[in-house]
Amino acid sequence: MFDEPFRWMEAISTRHSYVQEKLKKGLPVLAVPYKDGALMMGFTAQPGKIFELYDRIALGSLGHPADVERLRMTLLDMAHLEGFNRSDKDVTIGRLLQFGIAPAMKQNFEEVMRAPYLVKLLFAEINFDNLPVFYWLNYDGHSEVFKKGAVISGNDKESEWIQKQIEQTDFAALPLEKALKEACRLWEEGKKQSASESEDDEDKPVGLAEAFDQWTLEAAVLSTDTERKALYRRVSPDEIEPLIAAAK
């Protein structure tokens, strides 16, 4: 295969189609700024969608739980090794992606005899100027950086619509309660957009009331309004309860 470029390209195309099909039902994860930091949220059928990666870094994910956990542990080890060997200020998403996980994922994807990672990853970081930065990483090692927020989803049209709305919304001026409410609204509207363009009867719109009934809302923040070294904290059930009440 490797001495026939056309066959290799055909195999890569097939892998793209295979992974995209596997991720198609993945629920969106949004990361946006808010007045005191960065917010990450998403609905999940089982715990394990949003994690703390390091003091100032949060990780969101969709895909196969085993692949997510493998990459999360790899990133966690890299972050702590970088912090130990260098300094805390050297532990940034940019460095972890550029010199670590992204090349490994690209190599994995291009080795067509190995199973590809069935994942998409989303990162939020508060840099040392106390400004939020956002990245997403694709299953093939491609990554992008955003300043106003970012989204990952198994549906490309859904993620493109939500990303456009994020860029047009001034999340950085909103308190946490309103930022979470607006992020949930975009999540709901994004699902409606993807459902309206689908001919599959199973892809009917999912409202927030149905989402709260079917799944669990996971949300976490990187808060600059704290004296703790670790900025990460989970959004509490008390902070989520008003959203559930308003959705019903």
Name the pLDDT band for 220 (thresholds 50, 70, 90): very high
Domain CATH for 87: 3.60.20.10
Q: What is the mean pLDDT of residues 227-232?
A: 90
User: What is the predicted pLDDT for the residue at 8?
Assistant: 79
Strand residue runs (E) in the chain:
29-34, 37-44, 50-54, 57-63, 119-126, 132-137, 143-146, 150-152, 216-223, 232-234
pLDDT confidence band for 198 (50 / 70 / 90): low
* Domain-embedded: residue 148: yes
Instruction: Indicate whether 14 belongs to any domain.
Output: no
Residue 159 belongs to domain spanning:
32-247
Flag whether pLDDT at 2 surpasses 60. Answer: no
Q: Residues 89, 91, 94, CA angle at the centre, nearest 5°?
A: 110
15 in a structural domain? no
Q: What is the pLDDT of residues 47-78, one digit of tens each?
A: 889 999 999 999 999 999 999 999 999 999 99
Work out how many domains the chain is built from and give that number. Answer: 1
Cross-strand bridge partners of residue 32: 39
Determine how β-strand 132-137 pairs with β-strand 119-126: antiparallel
Statement: residue 199 has pLDDT above 60 = no
Query: What predicted TM-score, i.e. pTM, was given to this entire model?
Result: 0.92
